[in-house]
Structure 1
Amino acid sequence: MAATPYRSALEVREGKLVHPRPGAALDGTQSNGFALSSTRAGYNGVIISGGHSAFTLKNAKIDLKGAGQNDFLAIGAGVLVRDRASVVIDHAAITTAGAVASALAVAEGATLRVYDSRLVAHGGPLPKGYVRHIGPGMMEPPAPLGLDGTARTVLAMSNAHAYFYRTTIEADGWGALSTDAAGNSLYVEANDCVLRVKRRGYAAYADFGAHVVLNRTVMESGGEGGIIAGEARIDMNRVSGKVGRVGVMIHSVMGNPAEVATLNLIDTTLETAGPVLLVKSANAAILVEGGRLSSASGQLLDLRKNDDANATKTGGAKVPGVVLTLRKTSQTGDVASSDGDRSLTLALEGAKLDGALRHVVFKADAASHWRATGPSQITLAPGAALSAIDAGEGITITANTQDSNLPDGNRKLPSGGTLIITHL
């Protein structure tokens, strides 16, 4: 970004105005009532940079209808905060309507706090001759994600810290709250916010090195609620969401086969059309505590091979696999794996689950209860409480074990089903 020539209506660099508007009510530390409407392509509304910049942008109204050029560089963004600057945005309305024109971008170790604002990116047509690709300069989501749209509303990058309070972040497609080129300490937090994507896109994204936290936030999306790529983390605390496809999708592309994604869903309610949790050729540590997850497809977690040509390959090496922990919660849905490269473990800790399990390592304490609702195939983890296992009449659970204290054979279960134990 330091080498990129930008054009903007307002720029603050190292605490000083670079080109102030005549008569504007602003200085190097604050602006109240800044207004801008522009149709110029590749034009930024506000740029604030430098470690000596501590700036407050209050009651701003920015409406940009020009196309962006490169959202990794935030060319065409409504507001760009970069290079260690510290910025507060309060009661702002920032709208863009152009391909790769983000409403807000924050990067290069900057710190941003946004209060009571509305950020919208409508996207726009792609330039003639554009060739789809992945990486810097891409102007639409990677094709394997199956998303619509040409703009990410908020884009956080390169070790920035961004906090949002009581703010609506809306996208036509692609993504509302997005990360990319994260570095190793990117942090994004949304508190009491609304994340809305009208078409197929994601409400929140965390890529390699990013940590995204959603507190008491509402998600609405025609695609995914969240996406995690590689060694990244999303925490949802008291989040409610309704999405058109998957609650959270976890995948690994062009990465390290040992990397592990982290997802924590605490007192969270998600309503999905497809699987609540979809893991594609990736390792993950997933915790669900409290809350309610429901899927029209009946799938709580689906672990499958990634059909993306850039999917990370294991090369036959042993990898950490996927661990889904249900703690102090009652859930319904199937948990299944068709990925032969890694294990899928379900751990119940004072939890209840109704659903079928297929190709799952099963762990449960005595305070838990699993009732199979369809034929199931499991491997018993050491110490798994058999008292936690049940199945309805006519349903068979096949359980493999290495425990020599468990005899082979059939056991009748309390609800009339059958548990068949076999030794590996």
Structure 2
Amino acid sequence: MKKPRFSIFREAYSGHPPEIWTLAFLTLINRIGTMVIPFLTVYLTTVLDFSLKQAGFLAGAFGFGSLTGSFFAGRYCDRFGANFIILLSLFVSGFFLIFIQFASTFYSFLSLIYITAVFGEAYRPALMAAIADYVPKSETGRTVSFLRLAVNLGMSAAPVIGGFTAAYLGYNWLFWIDGLTCIAAATYFWQASKNWRKKPAAEQIEIQAQMQTSAVPPYKNSQFMLYLSATFLAGLVFLQWFHSVPVFLKTVWGFDEQYIGILLGFNAMMVILIEMPAIHATEKAGKSRRALLTGLLCIGLAYLPFLLPKTIVLCFVAMFIWTLGEIFFIPLNNATALNMSPDSKRGEYSAWYWMTWSLANIVGPTMGLAIADEFGFNNFWLFLSGLAVVSLLLYRRVLAKK
């Protein structure tokens, strides 16, 4: 008997344990509260009159804090538990997000942005560890996709709310709303997780993983390190959309925060509507590797429309191409890294993977805005496209041997 057309969606979203539904709702709240991030460089350059290089350096401090937070979160999850790290991340980062608005000097901003990122970005590895605590290994992929949907739903609302808030209420409200949202999420999680218990299947997997010691660490796995190198370069290209593109749209093309927010919201809505069926069809057809490379190529090409004369239509064209790239590249890149990780060292491999993205967050804003400031945005867009091609060639070399 032929299955109903939408049965694949029901199968993907049904049957999750209560703990995962709570984590999904928590993630949704947390991501709605990230409305500060897309407008941080705009705030620093247009409101506080920092130079592009200074704004890039401050945004890079967020990436360095993310790197630090990921490292310590992975280390201390085993000692104190993933739930405690999630609670600490949300609660402390919420207070520091509120404090950022009161900074008045370059170094005070540097310190607060770094500390906020240390605690705030500890959330991601702790969330992944929590997944392993409450679902069996056979359902991990489905659960990760489900939580990513929560991320994208939150991100679809965050830039739109943030853009209107910055344009009509002022930037100070962004910090208040962001910080209070994190604190509210922490309070909700503290109450909801009091009686949670690890599932027996997850506990058995944990015991078996501890008994396996033969797998090499990630830094001794040459193929995995090459994969991380390709990911780092791709990350440099990918992340410019959140740092350099908003500054370009505001200072060069003259679009205000409201338009930038709508544009970023359009991206998130596309991901919500297209990603799940697109990835399912890709995996079912056995075209994951080709789709990953195509997605990366789209990300590199998405910056080229900014070489043309200013028009709002080109903004949406560029965003459409970049979003198609994100839809295929990000989930398949995450899945490939996970599949390359041995069971006994999955946490360690995952930590290295996320720290690679954090490193890209450190280098990306500083490098991007500095290059744009020194050589102009047109040359910078061409540089990004070339960097994407280099990354693509590295990916082809790794994936050909898998």
TM-score (norm 1): 0.20
TM-score (norm 2): 0.21
Larger RCO, structures 1/2 (Cα 8 Å, 6+ apart): 2
Q: Which has the higher strand share?
A: 1
Q: Which has the higher helix share?
A: 2
Determine which structure has more spread, i.e. the larger CA radius of gyration: 1
